[in-house]
Amino acid sequence: MINFTLSKAQTEFRDYAHQVAVEEMRPISLECERTEQIPESFFWNMQKRFWAGSAGQARAQAREGEENQSNMLSMLSQEEMAWGDAALSTAIPGPGLAAPPILSNGTPEQQMRFLGPFMDGQLHWGALALTEPGIGSDVAGMSTTATLDGDEWVLNGHKHYITNGARADLVITFATVDKRKGREGIRPFVVPKGTPGLIVGRIEEKMGLRASQTAELIYENCRIPKDHLLAGRQKDTRAGGFKAAMGTLDATRPMVGALAVGIARAAYEAACQWVKEELPRGYPAHKRHDIEQELEELRQELQMSRYLVWRAAWMADQRIPNSREASMCKAYAGNLVMKVTAAAVRITAPGEDSELKQFIHKWFRDAKVFDIFEGTAQIQRLVIARRMFPKVNIP
């Protein structure tokens, strides 16, 4: 049964992640947003501090003698990292969004071959290429193709909005082997960095998460070995690729929800601090009471959002299908982070500019994408409705 009380080891792991956010992320957050650049020292510091040493020990302690907690631990760390800076969080070295499809669809040999290099202590990134121009969340409408030519797959197509796409050592690319089959023709492929025909296009200029690298990828007769197809664990490959894409989203949507909770919490805490320390003297008592009541309601919603994320993560750890719960936590948290950051901007509007207000304005800009990526709010509601009413024909 799910337990919303964290164990001692889980609490220590969360606290360590928060310490990393305080010491490594907040001090450079505003400068990284301004320049849209991340110092290389940050990557090495995160490699040493978060993926080794104390953090590694905390993970081991949290897992020791207990059930699988990998998703739950990820949610705890993601919230703290986003509290520090969500853009920097997405840039932390590691397999990232490439890991779920490799783990779910790759053979043991493929898992070792493609994920093993991430354990060598060097800086490596993974990326997931799913979204295409013109199709948005309609994965079944994918137009990137993969054609088998002897012992090689030849990929042609165009992907965009790919997090860490330009720096990734490998990109999990979803493509169709037969457009006529729709979703049943989709397959996941591993495309290593430097593969001829894999072209990095523009790096997007964004309103929020400005320090996070979002790239365009173009595939022009991009040839990869035949064994780079991730279908070794699928008994029936007819819909395996589409299921792999949806399974990846079931794993990553709670992660997005946790990031949204982290930003919302940061904005909420900043607004509370401003009310306590900087609210102008002589401010009408009844208006102050209204602000305090609003903040208390937001605190309650934050806790509800966090519990939705934890439930989806717990279900994933228990290998319980969580498509509906993953969409629920992503939809709720994506809406809440917009609500909280907008309230923080409005509440702190009086008075002079300050670093605190600069952070709040940054978080407001960062918040919008959480209603969009990994599936828009409309798509989440559609997924939820289909899981609630599976026999009803919902367009």
Return d(Cα 177, Cα 186) in angstroms, integer.
6
Q: Answer whether 0.85 is exceeded by the pTM.
A: yes
Residue 22 banded pLDDT, cuts 50, 70, 90: very high
Query: Same domain for 250 and 229?
Result: no
Contact assessment for residue 81 and residue 25, using Cβ atoms and an 8 Å cutoff: yes
Task: Count up the domains in the chain and report the number.
Answer: 3
pLDDT over 90 at 211, yes or no: yes
In tens, the pLDDT along 275-320 reads 998 887 778 888 889 999 999 999 999 999 999 999 999 999 998 9
Structural domain range at position 376: 241-388
Q: What are the φ and ψ backbone dihedral angles of 375, each rounded to 5 degrees?
A: 100, 125
- Three-class DSSP category at 146: strand
**CATH at residue 41:** 1.10.540.10
Q: Which two tokens stand for residue 391?
A: 């026999």
| 251-261: average pLDDT | 93
Q: Which residues fall within 8 angstroms of residue 232, CB to CB, at 6 or more apart?
A: 105, 106, 107, 109, 110
Contact assessment for residue 394 and residue 386, using Cβ atoms and an 8 Å cutoff: yes
Residue whose pair of structure tokens reads 């309650």 in the numeric block: 300
User: What local confidence, expressed as pLDDT, does residue 285 receive?
Assistant: 87
Q: Which of 94, 118, 148 is the last residue of a domain?
A: 94
Q: Residue 3 domain-assigned?
A: no
**CATH at residue 190:** 2.40.110.10
Residue 51 banded pLDDT, cuts 50, 70, 90: low
Query: Same domain for 259 and 330?
Result: yes
Q: Which of 201, 236, 271 is the last residue of a domain?
A: 236
Residue 70 banded pLDDT, cuts 50, 70, 90: confident
User: What local confidence, expressed as pLDDT, does residue 393 receive?
Assistant: 58
User: What local confidence, expressed as pLDDT, does residue 235 receive?
Assistant: 53
Query: Same domain for 221 and 245?
Result: no
Mean pLDDT, the chain, whole residue set: 88
Query: Same domain for 247 and 383?
Result: yes
Q: Residue 1 domain-assigned?
A: no
Return d(Cα 365, Cα 377) in angstroms, integer.
18
Residue 238 banded pLDDT, cuts 50, 70, 90: low
Query: Same domain for 226 and 245?
Result: no
**CATH at residue 310:** 1.20.140.10
Dihedral sign, CA of 63, 69, 74, 80?
A: negative
Contact assessment for residue 126 and residue 111, using Cβ atoms and an 8 Å cutoff: no
Catalytic residue positions?
374
Query: Same domain for 246 and 378?
Result: yes
pLDDT over 50 at 57, yes or no: no
Query: Same domain for 75 and 124?
Result: no
Return d(Cα 351, Cα 105) in angstroms, integer.
54
Query: Same domain for 246 and 180?
Result: no
pLDDT over 70 at 30, yes or no: yes
DSSP 126: E
pLDDT over 50 at 85, yes or no: yes
User: What local confidence, expressed as pLDDT, does residue 137 receive?
Assistant: 65
